[in-house]
Amino acid sequence: MMARNGDVERACIVQRISTSKYNKEINPYCREVDVKAPNNDNLVQIFNANLDNLFSLSTTLMERTRESMYVEVLINYLQKDINKLRLVVDKISSEASLQDYEIISSISNLRYKIASKSYCANDIEKTLAIVDGFPVWKGDVYMVCAYAYARLDKHVKSKILFKKAFNALNGIGAKRRALLALQNYIVAESNIYDGKKLIGEYKHLIRKAIQFGYPTIAAGGYLNLSRQFQKHGAIRTALKNIEKAEYLIDEDSGILQYYLILSHKCHLLIQLNRKDEARILIDELTHNNHKEIIENVKFLESLICDDGNKLEKLNLNSMVDSWKERVTSKKEIKLGKLEEKLIEFISESPRTKIEIISHLYGQNLDYVVLDNRFKNLIGRFRKKVPDLIVFEDEKYRISDTMFLKELGSEV
């Protein structure tokens, strides 16, 4: 792994996560699993688990129960072991006496079809049609079905279901998974409304992830925030944010998100003409079996070599949406250092003109000179990125409107 800058700042993030007063209250893995519980506590923990937690749970749960079988489904699904996943799904289908048999059979089969890329909208609708009879399963089912719709580019349906997933998961105490639903809800919004500014939303998600002690989700937030800055030409600011994501995701190296973060960082380094560093990352990216990343590498190599012919060999269907967008987009914005410093400063909080001038230029020059420089800077910025900065109540701010308020006070 390459040496990173800003480790002190990112270590502070990890410290805030590890010492969060909410960590032991909210994170179910701060307590022992009661395998004899007659209620749904174990199922909620499964819904909330990451891969490491699932492996731990698999050693404690009673065999041939809905919990133990669904843990097997999730482990093989997350590891993309389609053959083993098929065997588990078949085993569930043969256990008609299993608790919640109808829904566990349906959602497990849908997960298999998603993993093997053999599903259609009708498969999603069949699972949704029966979920009302199994309230505790709603969050998980909505989440899986929302993801499935997203992969079919049905982003409006996907957004609706991610919203339902957030409310259902939050309602049963699966905070980690609820935050993942929230993150995907924001992504769905960006897929529906191309060009929408979502800097405020991703900053909010990061704050929540840190508050509740989920560094991997915070890393995902930083990845998406970095992409927002990149799309608006703030490449250096984007690099700062992706390095925070890289630091936080280290504990989960090897998962798809880890390689998406490295891919994105590599793209930024190429844009900054730091190609030697980018090549080192490409070497690491080639040692993975994720189809999405294999296509990313082809795209990144085409940029380094300035070889447009390589783009013709890309399989866009294997790429995630944010990477399809990079391949097809013809517009590239690049901000100057002062322009980047401006957007980074006001993205943290609305600022007065005096605060911005002081931050950018100091206070040693005559005010008339500083005021003229500021007006020229704002003018240049708005030509490059129209409508990103607005002036309201005597302050400059990013023009996002925090659409998350429609989710209510739970966010």
Q: What is the DSSP string of 256-280?
A: HHHHHHHHHHHHHHHHTT-HHHHHH
- Interatomic CA distance for residues 147 and 133, integer angstroms: 21
- 390 DSSP β-pair partners: 397
The tokens of 371 are what? 């005021």
Secondary structure (3-state) at 172:
coil
Domain-located, residue 47 = yes
- Interatomic CA distance for residues 159 and 295, integer angstroms: 26
- 351 DSSP β-pair partners: 396
Q: Which of 124, 153, 170 marks a domain boundary?
A: 170
Amino acid found at 167? N
Distance, C-alpha 299 to centroid of its chain: 21
Q: Which domain holds residue 356?
A: 337-407
Domain-located, residue 36 = yes
Model pLDDT, residue 80: 86
Work out how many domains the chain is built from and give that number. 2
Q: Which are the contacts of 246, defined by CB distance < 8 A and separation ≥ 6?
A: 4, 219, 261, 262, 265
CATH number at residue 386: 1.10.10
Model pLDDT, residue 306: 78
Q: Which of 170, 205, 232 marks a domain boundary?
A: 170
Q: What's the first-to-final CA gap in the chain, in angstroms? A: 36
- Interatomic CA distance for residues 106 and 114, integer angstroms: 12
Domain-located, residue 7 = no
Model pLDDT, residue 11: 53
Domain-located, residue 40 = yes
Domain-located, residue 188 = no
CATH number at residue 26: 1.25.40
Domain-located, residue 147 = yes
Tens of each residue's pLDDT in the chain, 411 residues: 444 444 545 555 555 555 444 343 334 333 333 333 346 888 999 999 988 899 999 999 888 899 999 999 999 999 889 999 999 999 999 999 999 999 999 999 999 999 999 999 999 999 999 999 999 999 999 999 999 999 999 999 999 999 999 999 999 999 999 999 999 999 999 888 877 778 888 998 999 999 989 999 999 999 999 999 999 899 999 999 999 999 998 655 668 899 999 999 999 999 999 999 999 999 999 988 888 999 999 999 999 987 766 677 788 888 888 898 888 877 778 899 999 999 999 988 899 999 999 999 988 888 899 999 999 999 999 999 888 888 888 999 887 655 555 555 455
Q: Which of 170, 200, 220 marks a domain boundary?
A: 170
- Interatomic CA distance for residues 179 and 302, integer angstroms: 35
Domain-located, residue 138 = yes
Q: Contact 78/58 with Cβ under 8 angstroms?
A: no
Domain-located, residue 25 = yes
Model pLDDT, residue 34: 36
The CA-atom distances, in angstroms, between 261 and each of 107, 167, 252, 255, 257 are 29, 28, 12, 10, 6
